[in-house]
Amino acid sequence: MLLGLLAGFYSGRIDDLVTGLTNVMLALPRLLFALAIVAALGPSLFNLFIALGAVGWPAICRLVRAQTLSLCGKDFVESARAIGATDLRIITRHILPNALSPIVVMGTVGMAQTILAEASLSFLGLGVQPPTPSWGSMMSRAHAYIWHAPWLMLFPGLAIFVAVLGLNLLGDGMRDALDPRLRRR
């Protein structure tokens, strides 16, 4: 969020640098890049957090930058500048609160994607290591028993499905509730 705020508020070289880095990160396949990070660092919970954070930030950064750019030209930001508000005050009191609703909605969708990525990496043995429970590692261990005890894979898979579906529906509902263009008059 901070990079997106800075890139949108201070255009020029900062914006070019952050946008270029974001575009490079978005060009890489998300799961494949996370897989490469965890493979390089070794499988552990901490390294999984690093990998998922490294692949998750560009989408939020781009959204925050776009929101900041659209809000910087609004009258309330110009009024704050006219009365002598500092850049920090304008960012924290005027831009960030007005950009927060799409960020929250994208956060719920991003959580669903992160759950899928974590389960995928854990299924491959590069995520959470036993004895720490993970739906992906549960499915990986149950894979050998698929024909004799299919419920061992079914229930972790259903848990992933319900969690991801629930987060996507929550994000959709929050978008409907927070977007002023969708409110009834």
Please write the tens of the pLDDT for every residue from 107-121. 998 999 999 999 999
Would you call 65 exposed, middle or buried from its count of C-beta atoms within 10 A (0-12, 13-18, 19+)? buried
> pLDDT value at position 100?
86
pLDDT confidence tier of residue 131, bands split at 50, 70 and 90: confident
Say whether pLDDT at 185 is over 70.
no
Domain 2-182 falls under CATH 1.10.287.110: no
pLDDT confidence of residue 184: 60
Q: Rounded to whole angstroms, how far apart are CA atoms 137 and 128?
A: 7
- Please give the mean pLDDT across all residues of the chain: 90
Residues 6 or more apart in contact with residue 14 via CB below 8 angstroms: 6, 7
Average pLDDT on 178-185 reads: 66
pTM score of the predicted model:
0.83
